[in-house]
A and B are shown apart, each in its own frame.
Chain A
Amino acid sequence: MDAGRDRLSSIVAVIIAFTTLVAALVGYLQADASTASSDGRLYAEQLSLQALGSAERSQQQAHVEYEAYVRAIEQQTAASNALIRSLYAGSIPCVADCQDADPNNDEERFILEHARWQRLSQESLRLSDIDPEGEYGPANDPTFPSRYFASAAYDSFRLNALQDAQNETASALDARAASYTAILAMLAVSLYLFGLTLAEQARWLRRGFLGVGLALLAAACGWGLLTANSAVPNVAEDAAEAYARGRVALLTAYDNSGYAQAEDHLDRAIEARPTFAAAYQWRAVSIVLAATPQRTGFVSIIPDEALRRARADLERARDLGLETAAVYGPLGFNAFLQGAQSDDAAVIEESVALSRRAMELDPANPVPAFNHAVALVALGRPDEAQAAYLEGVEDAMYVDADRSQQRDEPWTEELWLAGALTDLAILERHRPELAGTIRGFKESIVAPISGGSFDAPSSPMTFGDVTMDVRPEALQWWGSLVDYDPARDIISTQWYHRDPASQIWAVLPEISGSAFPPEAQGDQHTVYRPYLNSVLPARCLPSGEYRSEMYVNGRLAASGEFVADFGELEAFVARDITVGFCRPTTWLDMEDPHPGLMNGARSADGQYGAIAFRYPFPRDDNEDNSLTTFIMDRVLDTFADRFPGAPVYMADSGTTSEYFLGLSRTARRWYDYGTGWLRAAAGVTPDGAVVVGVVFGPYEWFRDGTEPHVILSSFVPLE
């Protein structure tokens, strides 16, 4: 017995020594992991500060380049000003009441001034790294300078990605250090139990303590080996670079191919670092934007395949620890879409929970509240939906949590309202039996947001015969309003476009809302909303189905639908001349515009085109359009080389005076240049300049179709 006890004591002593050795080793590994983890965290902090500095530095640099570029454009305009002065050639052109020549208006002097400003402009442009024709220049970026500024943010995106990777590595090392701590605690306990084994007299207790101690030792050794062999993610530089490229591409994209390019970059980032949560989140954004037909407002129409892929990416981002409203919000909406499409109540329930979580994370944002509400409507829980809509409306209308300061930003509020209305339209598309309920909810959210108050008075106003018109550059309705009181009645027009693939009506937020009340024209009222210059980048409306819903103090008082077919046109914008128009997609911008004086677009062969001129003129008190026609003739004569032939006024067709850009003293004339016609329209601006718009092309173009007329009528003022 004694020999047995001694033998056991010896064995326990050896085990204690072994345990101590293991503890020392684990202690070393724990210290090593802790140090590496704190180093990693410190490095992540350094990277965050570097990103801050880099963002600021690159932004400042980009602003300097940008200001030099703006200066160059300003100088080009000054050159155009001098050119205009030189065109007067020693005298102010004589329209009526002719005066003597102006001895101070020396053509030669202004020509020299023109040359001087042009030279200066070229030099200023050389000071800037912005190449007008380059990838990020205005010629290739309809949202200029957003692409240019986004490209400057590349380095800060890369540093933020490295910081994220460093945090992930540090977290893995933290987990490793925590495991080692637990292992050390187990080893300490086992050592204690081995000590008790030596001290204990009773054999069964000794064996019990020894057994538990050994079990703990074995578990500690096994856990230690597993922990030592567990992988700690490396900081992948190439993942950070691909991510930064993806983010820049996403910021600078404005069409499907741009978003697809962003997705490619983010694919590579994920390939290089499969645990990159932010890359999954932004890839989900790219997938949705590449697939949706919507180009403005919040995206609600997402094709099935893109919806499935985006949802998978968002779930992966969440599972990797990215628990933000930017993840939960879209996840909630995607679940609603999937549930509505498949009529699956369980998925919609999931959407409710996800949107609720997004609301908790970003309580001031009305979007998750509206997503939450529409899911509750789909589930047939109207009372809860009403409460959720109220929360969303309050988030939209007020900037503070205690609802004391109104936002007073009609455009932003309409953006949210349009998103909520489109979501209800999606639900109506899948659940037509809910149409009545959906209409009620639409009215309940339009009323407060349109009127800026929850106490909209009831109104007896009704619409008479309302006509709707859709043109590539604008939408409008006109009709008689019965019992209309502008002081009492707030009319909110919500314009919808139907996506041909999904057959879903989506609100066009930029031109919808109550910010533009109807204008009286005789006994008729009109709401005219130009679209071309309301969206960024400027766009023309596509052909297709349109709908308008007119709400009076929140009550849906009228609605109508319209099918438009005017081909595919894209926007041309000349902000220096304050004119924009819709043109065929094959046309190109003029290579030799005169800023502030002349700009336009032509077909590649120069046979078709549309040009706008802005011609300043001294004050002219004549009430008729003699000044307008005079300048029209003069610019067409001066710039005759911009057309296939010299335009000659067709006196037989006469001069008409129709609406043009809302200008006064308007005139329209036909010109013939030998191989085609030129249709010109002009008018006088409030500050006395004459704006001339012309469309030219071969005879058959004018004879065989409506396109030239659609283009000329699409001219919109940009001021």
Chain B
Amino acid sequence: MSLTPSPEPTGPTAEPATFAPSAQGAGHAASRDRRLALAVALLIGFASLLSAVVAWRASLASIDSSRLQSLAVQEQAREQQLGRELEGRLALDERLIVAYQEHILAARELRAQAERIRGTDPLMADSLDLEAHGQSALARSIRPFLYGAAWVKEDADGSVTYDRAAAMLFLRDLQTELRELQPLRTAELAQDADVRAINLIAVAALIVAALFFLTIAQVVRTRERMRLGFALLGALLVLAGTLGLVFVEVLS
């Protein structure tokens, strides 16, 4: 470090004497230089704060993305849970319907047999009639336990059909939560948040680059054109970063 300090760079006296302008010109140059320094300093301050804001927003977007990714997995699990509960209900019905149908068909068959032999063996026919009643009673004992009994129909041939689709539609109509769960949409939102985070990081990179050029403009004092060039480049990058931030946060 020199023992003789250079004069304070406070104005035109700092400029090389050879090219010293007139007193009036030197005053203008000093004033311009001061204004430029102030402008660059303000730009540095603005870009610094902007970079902090952008970093914070990028962090939030990144957190949002991971939160939504996790939520998409949880929503999918919940959707599965609710869906399987409904499916389970219908599957239970279908298992009970097997036994139900067995009794219905047995009763029908017994009655048919009774009719066939009534002329020749009325006592046996009566006995078969009673058995048929017993089978009908067994079918009736099961029916109250069918959750979707309203969708159970007995066809003319005695077979039993279960309108599973209608039963499921009814159950789903009552399930607001199931309708609201949209794991794919949530995953898309997570992806959007990811893209936003990446875009914000790109904006941050622009602003950091702007800071780099503005810093050079601030510290270079000997070459005015070069200084001005760096300042302009920095200012353009700050502008681009600001517009980028507005675009990413507001317009996209």
Nearest opposing residue in chain A for B14, CB measure: A201
Alpha-carbon separation in the docked complex, A210 to B109 (Å): 100
Is the beta-carbon distance between A688 and B215 smaller than 8 angstroms? no
For residue B243, give the distance in angstroms from its CB to the closest CB of chain A: 20
Is the beta-carbon distance between A616 and B88 smaller than 8 angstroms? no
Q: Residues 136-172 of chain A: 1 if any B CB is under 8 Å from the residue's CB, otherwise 0? A: 0000000001000000010010001001000100110
Nearest opposing residue in chain B for A37, CB measure: B63
> Is B52 among interface residues, defined by CB-CB distance under 8 A?
yes
Alpha-carbon separation in the docked complex, A297 to B120 (Å): 56
Which one of B55, B134, B140, B173 lies within 8 Å of A185 (CB-CB)?
B55
> Is B81 among interface residues, defined by CB-CB distance under 8 A?
yes
> Is A611 among interface residues, defined by CB-CB distance under 8 A?
no
Residues of chain B within 8 A (CB-CB) of A635 are none
Is the beta-carbon distance between B95 and A67 smaller than 8 angstroms? yes
> Is B239 among interface residues, defined by CB-CB distance under 8 A?
no
Is the beta-carbon distance between B170 and A412 smaller than 8 angstroms? yes
For residue B1, give the distance in angstroms from its CB to the closest CB of chain A: 9
Is the beta-carbon distance between B137 and A80 smaller than 8 angstroms? yes
Nearest opposing residue in chain B for A47, CB measure: B74
One of A12-20, A186-194, A500-508 at the interface:
A186-194
Alpha-carbon separation in the docked complex, A45 to B52 (Å): 32
> Is A44 among interface residues, defined by CB-CB distance under 8 A?
yes
- Known: A73-B145, A192-B211, A362-B179. Contact between A45 and B70, CB under 8 A? yes
> Is A49 among interface residues, defined by CB-CB distance under 8 A?
yes
Alpha-carbon separation in the docked complex, A522 to B204 (Å): 87
- Known: A52-B77, A407-B169. Contact between A619 and B144, CB under 8 A? no
Is the beta-carbon distance between A56 and B84 smaller than 8 angstroms? yes
Which one of B9, B41, B137 lies within 8 Å of A596 (CB-CB)?
B137
Is the beta-carbon distance between A81 and B180 smaller than 8 angstroms? no
Alpha-carbon separation in the docked complex, A249 to B136 (Å): 36
Is the beta-carbon distance between A209 and B78 smaller than 8 angstroms? no
Which one of B59, B67, B88, B144 lies within 8 Å of A59 (CB-CB)?
B88
Is the beta-carbon distance between B78 and A48 smaller than 8 angstroms? yes
> Is B29 among interface residues, defined by CB-CB distance under 8 A?
no
Which one of B56, B179, B180 lies within 8 Å of A182 (CB-CB)?
B56
- Known: A56-B84, A182-B52, A324-B180. Contact between A689 and B10, CB under 8 A? no
> Is A595 among interface residues, defined by CB-CB distance under 8 A?
yes
Per DSSP, chain B at the interface is helix
Which one of B8, B41, B137, B177 lies within 8 Å of A326 (CB-CB)?
B177
Residues of chain B within 8 A (CB-CB) of A329 are 176
Which residues 52-85 of A have a CB within 8 angstroms of B? 52, 55-56, 59-60, 63, 66-67, 70, 73-74, 76-78, 80-81, 84-85
Is the beta-carbon distance between B37 and A205 smaller than 8 angstroms? yes
One of A173-181, A386-394, A447-455, A553-561 at the interface:
A173-181
Is the beta-carbon distance between A48 and B77 smaller than 8 angstroms? yes
Residues of chain B within 8 A (CB-CB) of A650 are none
> Is B250 among interface residues, defined by CB-CB distance under 8 A?
no
> Is B188 among interface residues, defined by CB-CB distance under 8 A?
no
Alpha-carbon separation in the docked complex, A575 to B139 (Å): 11
Which one of A145, A202, A719 lies within 8 Å of B10 (CB-CB)?
A202
Residues of chain A within 8 A (CB-CB) of B137 are 77, 80-81, 576, 595-597, 614, 616
Nearest opposing residue in chain B for A219, CB measure: B52
Q: Residues 77-99 of chain B: 1 if any A CB is under 8 Å from the residue's CB, otherwise 0? A: 11011001100100010011001
Is the beta-carbon distance between B59 and A619 smaller than 8 angstroms? no
> Is B161 among interface residues, defined by CB-CB distance under 8 A?
no
Q: Residues 449-466 of chain A: 1 if any B CB is under 8 Å from the residue's CB, otherwise 0? A: 000000000000000000
> Is B164 among interface residues, defined by CB-CB distance under 8 A?
no
Alpha-carbon separation in the docked complex, A167 to B107 (Å): 57
- Known: A203-B8, A409-B169, A576-B144. Contact between A196 and B127, CB under 8 A? no
One of A97-105, A469-477, A544-552, A701-709 at the interface:
A97-105
Is the beta-carbon distance between B134 and A84 smaller than 8 angstroms? yes
Alpha-carbon separation in the docked complex, A207 to B177 (Å): 59
> Is B66 among interface residues, defined by CB-CB distance under 8 A?
yes
Alpha-carbon separation in the docked complex, A84 to B135 (Å): 13
Which one of A163, A193, A201, A407 lies within 8 Å of B74 (CB-CB)?
A163
For residue A210, give the distance in angstroms from its CB to the closest CB of chain B: 12
> Is A2 among interface residues, defined by CB-CB distance under 8 A?
yes
Per DSSP, chain A at the interface is helix
Size of interface on B: residues with Cβ below 8 Å to A: 74
- Known: A70-B145, A201-B8. Contact between A178 and B140, CB under 8 A? no
Is the beta-carbon distance between A102 and B127 smaller than 8 angstroms? yes
> Is A365 among interface residues, defined by CB-CB distance under 8 A?
yes
Residues of chain B within 8 A (CB-CB) of A63 are 88, 92
Size of interface on A: residues with Cβ below 8 Å to B: 96
Alpha-carbon separation in the docked complex, A145 to B92 (Å): 12
Which residues 95-117 of A have a CB within 8 angstroms of B? 99-100, 102, 104-105
Q: Residues 164-180 of chain B: 1 if any A CB is under 8 Å from the residue's CB, otherwise 0? A: 00100110010011011
Is the beta-carbon distance between A325 and B180 smaller than 8 angstroms? yes
Is the beta-carbon distance between A409 and B8 smaller than 8 angstroms? no
Alpha-carbon separation in the docked complex, A42 to B66 (Å): 11
Is the beta-carbon distance between A201 and B138 smaller than 8 angstroms? no
Residues of chain A within 8 A (CB-CB) of B144 are 575-576
Alpha-carbon separation in the docked complex, A92 to B130 (Å): 9
Is the beta-carbon distance between B56 and A196 smaller than 8 angstroms? no
Residues of chain B within 8 A (CB-CB) of A200 are 218-219
Is the beta-carbon distance between A688 and B129 smaller than 8 angstroms? yes
Residues of chain A within 8 A (CB-CB) of B38 are 205
> Is A618 among interface residues, defined by CB-CB distance under 8 A?
yes
Which residues 15-45 of A have a CB within 8 angstroms of B? 37-38, 41-42, 44-45
> Is A361 among interface residues, defined by CB-CB distance under 8 A?
yes
Is the beta-carbon distance between B141 and A74 smaller than 8 angstroms? yes
> Is B25 among interface residues, defined by CB-CB distance under 8 A?
no
For residue A114, give the distance in angstroms from its CB to the closest CB of chain B: 12
For residue A606, give the distance in angstroms from its CB to the closest CB of chain B: 26
Alpha-carbon separation in the docked complex, A105 to B10 (Å): 127
Is the beta-carbon distance between A208 and B41 smaller than 8 angstroms? yes
Is the beta-carbon distance between A99 and B123 smaller than 8 angstroms? yes
Q: Residues 190-232 of chain A: 1 if any B CB is under 8 Å from the residue's CB, otherwise 0? A: 0011001001111101001100100010000000000000000
Is the beta-carbon distance between A576 and B140 smaller than 8 angstroms? yes
> Is A603 among interface residues, defined by CB-CB distance under 8 A?
no
Alpha-carbon separation in the docked complex, A76 to B134 (Å): 12
Which one of A37, A66, A182 lies within 8 Å of B92 (CB-CB)?
A66
Alpha-carbon separation in the docked complex, A325 to B178 (Å): 11
For residue A587, give the distance in angstroms from its CB to the closest CB of chain B: 21
Is the beta-carbon distance between A212 and B45 smaller than 8 angstroms? yes
Nearest opposing residue in chain B for A30, CB measure: B59
Is the beta-carbon distance between B92 and A201 smaller than 8 angstroms? no
> Is B126 among interface residues, defined by CB-CB distance under 8 A?
yes
> Is B73 among interface residues, defined by CB-CB distance under 8 A?
yes
Is the beta-carbon distance between A67 and B138 smaller than 8 angstroms? no
Q: Residues 41-60 of chain B: 1 if any A CB is under 8 Å from the residue's CB, otherwise 0? A: 10011001101110110011
Is the beta-carbon distance between B70 and A174 smaller than 8 angstroms? no
Is the beta-carbon distance between A201 and B176 smaller than 8 angstroms? no
Alpha-carbon separation in the docked complex, A619 to B122 (Å): 10
Alpha-carbon separation in the docked complex, A59 to B126 (Å): 44
Alpha-carbon separation in the docked complex, A159 to B136 (Å): 44
Residues of chain A within 8 A (CB-CB) of B9 are 201-202
Q: List 16 A-B contacts (CB under 8 A).
A: A44-B70, A48-B77, A48-B81, A51-B78, A59-B84, A74-B138, A78-B138, A80-B137, A92-B127, A99-B122, A102-B126, A104-B127, A189-B49, A325-B179, A576-B140, A689-B136
**What 8 A-B pairs come out closest when comparing CB atoms?**
A616-B133, A182-B56, A181-B59, A618-B126, A185-B55, A81-B134, A618-B129, A596-B137
Using CB atoms and an 8 Å cutoff, list the residues of chain B in contact with chain A: 5, 8-10, 37-38, 41, 44-45, 48-49, 51-53, 55-56, 59-60, 63, 66-67, 70-71, 73-74, 77-78, 80-81, 84-85, 88, 92, 95-96, 99, 107, 111, 114, 118, 122-127, 129-130, 132-134, 136-138, 140-145, 150, 166, 169-170, 173, 176-177, 179-180, 211, 215, 218-219, 221
Given contacts A329-B176, A409-B169, A616-B130, 4 further A-B contacts (CB under 8 A): A48-B73, A48-B81, A84-B130, A205-B41
